[in-house]
Structure 1
Amino acid sequence: MNTKYSDLIGQTYEFPQSEFTTKEDTLTFHGIPLEQLAVQYGTPLKFTYLPKISENINRAKDWFNKAMTDLNYKGTYQYCYCTKSSHFSHILQEALKNDIHLETSSAFDIEIIENLKQQGFVTNDTYVICNGFKRERYIDNITRLLNNGHHNCIPIIDNYEELDLLTDGIKDTFKVGIRIASEEEPKFEFYTSRLGIGYKNIVPFYEQQIKNNDQVELKMLHFFINTGIRDNAYYWNELMKCLKVYIRLKKACPSLDSLNIGGGFPTKNSLAFEFDYEYMVYEIVNQIKLACDEAEVAVPHIFTEFGSFTVGESGGAIYEVLYQKQQNDREKWNMINSSFITTLPDTWAINKRFIMLPINRWNDEYERVLLGGLTCDSDDYYNSEQHMNAIYLPKFKKDKPLYIGFFNTGAYQESIGGFGGLQHCLIPHPKHLLLQRDEQGELQVSVFKEQQTAAQLLDILGYERQEQIKSIQEKEQEIAS
């Protein structure tokens, strides 16, 4: 009778897989003995397997370059890393080994880029695509980057006022892009993305604000949909609408030569995961070429901004099952020595699935369980009701430690979970005031905590300090004064 956990996996999935295999009764990840890590370093722990970042970057480059060669596509391909997926210095440094470019989403990203330039990881030839809604500090930082000679910094115009704010501070000519406010998937709560400018308004915006502005050169049209790149009617429909806008804009603006199709390649979230990346890339390039050839306009250079695809599959987390609680006839709760809410917040916030496997005891009998975190919050769990498949693990035994791993967790979890004080997209936590009244009833206000600074966040993220942080602190003092 096949009752071992290894039998269950072997009967359910194609196993072993490229990154997962077993040695005796323990799991290895890219050949790394995970139980040894858990025993040596203790749990809970997180890890980042840096070579996977370079591997995925070069996979995507190969897909696009092959498609362009096969289709005789005359444009070029540029891979950008979406920094908001993970801002850590070790992530950026690994990614930048592969001749790539960067996409930013907030003010402090620019300080990171300046730090990387000082260290030699970024040059003025590196494209910096500046997305997002731009507040004063973000505008100031983009202005500084351009005025210091970073000619390949391309602000993507997100609203009608940004162009005037940029031209006020930038000394020389500069390039810009325009982001399309794509329509959201029908089941989404809102009809249109809050980001960008509407399809029908893009050509008029160019005619009114850019065409006769000698300081500004429109180079890029930016397209992104929230659900990412998928082989479904919604994605292809939105891409076709984008191409119609590109063609109309190209005919009105000869300097336009680049199409940014954003990101959204899926990452592996199950041992049964299937996605034909190469086919999707070929069809995207093919549809762009067909549309441009039919309209008799030159094909654009293609940019992508892959974040989760770049870094997601490099990350993992290992926990130990502390105890099993039999709550009723049906529910066995395996309590882990951490919290899903704090260490894997997407499992709680958006019901995201990750690959979950035991690290050891693959030759033991298995049982169906629920997984619970240590907090007192009722939502701190990971189970078959929140996720499509039931959870099976080797049977709990007090005298035999059981380690479990969650894999492909490398994107967003640290910033959303607040690692060391991080915030999503490096938006700083706001100033916090304490309000109270004295004996006469007069309001008393004191500052409990100042707003986070760029220097503090760069320190958390592991960037070199000394002169760079001192310089940032001096800038912040100037702004404050």
Structure 2
Amino acid sequence: MKTKYIDLIDQTYYFPQEEFTLEDHNLYFHNIDLMQLVKEYGAPFKFTYLPKISHNINRAKYWFQNAIKKHDYPGNYHYCYCTKSSHFEHVLTEALKNDIHIETSSAFDIDIVKNLIKKGSISKKQYVICNGFKRDQYIQNIAELINSKHKNCIPVIDNYEELKLLDEVINEPYQVGIRIASEEEPKFEFYTSRLGIGYKNIVPFYNREIKNNDKVSLKMLHFFINTGIRDTAYYWNELLKCLKVYTELKKVCPTLDSLNIGGGFPIKNSLAFEYDYEYMIDEIIYQIKVTCEEAGVDMPHIFTEFGSFTVGESGGAVYEVLYQKQQNDREKWNMINSSFITTLPDSWAISKRFLMLAINRWNDEYERVLLGGLTCDSDDYYNSEQNMNAIYLPKFSKSKPLYIGFFNTGAYQETIGGFGGLQHCLIPSPKHILIDRDEEGNLKTRLFSEQQSATDFLKILGYDE
């Protein structure tokens, strides 16, 4: 009878996988001995494996270039990183090693861009695509960038008033994009995205506000839907509606030469995850080409804004199971030495599921459990995997510590959780480790931030002496 944790994983999934292997009954992630990190740094901790960022960027660039070559597509492809996924300097520095561009969403993003320009990480040849609803400070920061001769800073118009606000503070000719307000899936609580300008209003807006304005030229049409890039009738229908707007706009706007299809590539959230990235990219390029040919207009350069896809699979969190509470005949609660609300807020706020595995004791028998955090909040729990309605882990033992890992958590968790600030029930943010490799492939680790202390919290709360 197969009752060990390794048996459960082996008969449920294809294992080992590209990033996960097993040695001496312990889990390795990209050939990183996670138990060695536990011994060196202690748990809980979060980590960022920097080489995975470059790896994913170059995967996408490779797929797009293959599709462009296959379909003899005349346009270029530009990979932009969506900074809101993770603003950390180590993330931007790693991403920018790969000849990419930047997409921003708020005023302070531009301050990060200026810092990176000063350091030489961003040149004036690189695109800075400015999305989001823009008011005073954001408008002013964009203007400062454009006025400093950064010609490839492209504000994407989100509402009718923004163009006038930009015109008032930009001193020379500049380029803009327009965002389409896409229609949401039928299950959404509203029909149309609050972001952008409606399909039917874009050409009239161009004719009214941009066509005869010598100072501004329209370069880009921006398209994004909330559900991301998925092989569904809904996605393809919205893309075709976007392309119809593009071809109509191109016929009256000769400066329009770029289509931004936004972000939305999913990332691995289970060992059973399947997604054909190459097929989706190939089909997108094909649909753009066919639609433009049928309309008799030039094909656009393609921009994407991948955030989670860029950085999500680089991150992880490791916890120790402190104690097991048997609450009734069927429910066993494994209590971790941290909080899900603090460290993985997406799991609490929007019921997002991450890839979760035991770090050690794979040769022990398993049991069904629930995972609970340290806060006194009933919502601080994790109860199922993406493709199963339960969690199974090696049996709890007071004499044999159990460590568990949540993987592909690198996007949004720190910013949503408020990195370095107050945390729910004053449960501290854990230490954060950066993992890299040198030119010979040898592993390098360093502590990016210590676990929060009581002193940190007291200072924020105004109790400092």
Q: Give me the TM-score of the superposition, normalised by structure 2.
A: 0.90
Q: Is the CA contact (8 Å cut-off) linking 2:348 and 2:379 kept in structure 1?
A: yes
* Aligned AA (1:383): N
* Aligned AA (1:270): S
Residues 1:314 and 2:314 aligned together: yes
Aligned length: 425
Q: Is the CA contact (8 Å cut-off) linking 1:107 and 1:141 kept in structure 2?
A: yes
Q: Is the CA contact (8 Å cut-off) linking 2:269 and 2:386 kept in structure 1?
A: no
Cα distance between partner residues in 2 of 1:189 and 1:227: 14
Q: 1:138, CA displacement in angstroms?
A: 0.1
Q: Identify the residue that residue 99 of structure 1 maps to in structure 2.
A: 99
Q: Identify the residue that residue 161 of structure 2 maps to in structure 1.
A: 161
* Aligned AA (1:67): A
Q: Identify the residue that residue 145 of structure 2 maps to in structure 1.
A: 145
Q: 1:384, CA displacement in angstroms?
A: 2.9
Q: Is the CA contact (8 Å cut-off) linking 2:355 and 2:385 kept in structure 1?
A: no
Q: Identify the residue that residue 215 of structure 1 maps to in structure 2.
A: 215
Cα distance between partner residues in 1 of 2:421 and 2:290: 48
Do the aligned partners of residues 385 and 17 (structure 1) sit closer, same or farther apart at CA in structure 2, a change above 3 Å counting?
closer
Q: Identify the residue that residue 41 of structure 1 maps to in structure 2.
A: 41
Q: Identify the residue that residue 204 of structure 1 maps to in structure 2.
A: 204
Q: Identify the residue that residue 383 of structure 1 maps to in structure 2.
A: 383
Q: Identify the residue that residue 10 of structure 1 maps to in structure 2.
A: 10
Q: Is the CA contact (8 Å cut-off) linking 1:48 and 1:314 kept in structure 2?
A: yes
Q: Identify the residue that residue 330 of structure 1 maps to in structure 2.
A: 330
Do the aligned partners of residues 38 and 382 (structure 1) sit closer, same or farther apart at CA in structure 2, a change above 3 Å counting?
same
Q: 1:135, CA displacement in angstroms?
A: 1.3
Q: Identify the residue that residue 257 of structure 2 maps to in structure 1.
A: 257
Pick which of 305-314 and 36-45 moved more.
36-45
* Aligned AA (1:218): L
Cα distance between partner residues in 1 of 2:31 and 2:283: 34
Q: Is the CA contact (8 Å cut-off) linking 1:345 and 1:416 kept in structure 2?
A: yes
Q: 1:388, CA displacement in angstroms?
A: 4.3
Q: Identify the residue that residue 302 of structure 1 maps to in structure 2.
A: 302
Cα distance between partner residues in 2 of 1:411 and 1:228: 15
Q: Give me the TM-score of the superposition, normalised by structure 1.
A: 0.87
Q: Identify the residue that residue 392 of structure 1 maps to in structure 2.
A: 392
Cα distance between partner residues in 1 of 2:125 and 2:399: 58
Secondary structure of the 2:150 match is: coil
Cα distance between partner residues in 2 of 1:351 and 1:408: 15
Q: Matched residues, percent identical?
A: 76
Deviations 1:382-438 (A, max 9, x none): 003998431000000001000000000000000000001499xxxxxxxxxxxxxxx
Cα distance between partner residues in 2 of 1:356 and 1:93: 28
Gap runs ≥5 in structure 2: 424-447, 450-465
Secondary structure of the 1:322 match is: strand
Q: Is the CA contact (8 Å cut-off) linking 2:130 and 2:156 kept in structure 1?
A: yes
Residues 1:82 and 2:53 aligned together: no
Q: Identify the residue that residue 24 of structure 1 maps to in structure 2.
A: 24
Do the aligned partners of residues 220 and 208 (structure 1) sit closer, same or farther apart at CA in structure 2, a change above 3 Å counting?
same
Q: 1:17, CA displacement in angstroms?
A: 0.1
Cα distance between partner residues in 2 of 1:384 and 1:106: 35
Cα distance between partner residues in 2 of 1:44 and 1:375: 15
Q: Identify the residue that residue 247 of structure 2 maps to in structure 1.
A: 247
Cα distance between partner residues in 2 of 1:415 and 1:117: 23
Q: Identify the residue that residue 173 of structure 1 maps to in structure 2.
A: 173
Cα distance between partner residues in 1 of 2:26 and 2:416: 31
* Aligned AA (1:394): P
Q: Identify the residue that residue 130 of structure 2 maps to in structure 1.
A: 130
Q: What pairs with 1:427-446 in structure 2 (closer than 5 Å)?
A: none
Gap runs ≥5 in structure 1: 424-460, 463-481
Q: Is the CA contact (8 Å cut-off) linking 2:317 and 2:409 kept in structure 1?
A: yes
Secondary structure of the 1:400 match is: coil
Cα distance between partner residues in 1 of 2:178 and 2:385: 42
Q: Identify the residue that residue 283 of structure 2 maps to in structure 1.
A: 283
Secondary structure of the 2:81 match is: strand
Q: 1:19, CA displacement in angstroms?
A: 0.1
Q: What pairs with 1:41-80 in structure 2 (closer than 5 Å)?
A: 41-80=41-80
Cα distance between partner residues in 2 of 1:356 and 1:71: 39
Q: 1:118, CA displacement in angstroms?
A: 0.7
Q: 1:40, CA displacement in angstroms?
A: 1.3
Q: What pairs with 1:402-417 in structure 2 (closer than 5 Å)?
A: 402-417=402-417
Q: Identify the residue that residue 113 of structure 2 maps to in structure 1.
A: 113
Q: 1:320, CA displacement in angstroms?
A: 0.2
Pick which of 142-151 and 380-389 moved more.
380-389
Q: Identify the residue that residue 445 of structure 2 maps to in structure 1.
A: none
Q: Is the CA contact (8 Å cut-off) linking 2:270 and 2:386 kept in structure 1?
A: no
Q: Is the CA contact (8 Å cut-off) linking 2:270 and 2:385 kept in structure 1?
A: no
Cα distance between partner residues in 1 of 2:50 and 2:17: 19
Q: Is the CA contact (8 Å cut-off) linking 1:414 and 1:422 kept in structure 2?
A: no
Q: What pairs with 1:353-392 in structure 2 (closer than 5 Å)?
A: 353-384=353-384, 388-392=388-392
Q: Is the CA contact (8 Å cut-off) linking 1:176 and 1:220 kept in structure 2?
A: yes
Cα distance between partner residues in 2 of 1:61 and 1:319: 35
Cα distance between partner residues in 2 of 1:291 and 1:49: 40
Cα distance between partner residues in 2 of 1:189 and 1:74: 40
Q: Is the CA contact (8 Å cut-off) linking 1:416 and 1:422 kept in structure 2?
A: no
Q: Identify the residue that residue 350 of structure 1 maps to in structure 2.
A: 350
Q: Is the CA contact (8 Å cut-off) linking 2:356 and 2:385 kept in structure 1?
A: no
Q: Is the CA contact (8 Å cut-off) linking 1:258 and 1:303 kept in structure 2?
A: yes
* Aligned AA (2:420): G
Q: Is the CA contact (8 Å cut-off) linking 1:184 and 1:191 kept in structure 2?
A: yes
Cα distance between partner residues in 2 of 1:422 and 1:64: 42
Cα distance between partner residues in 2 of 1:362 and 1:127: 47
Cα distance between partner residues in 2 of 1:338 and 1:422: 14
Deviations 1:19-48 (A, max 9, x none): 001001100000000011012101110000
Secondary structure of the 2:389 match is: coil
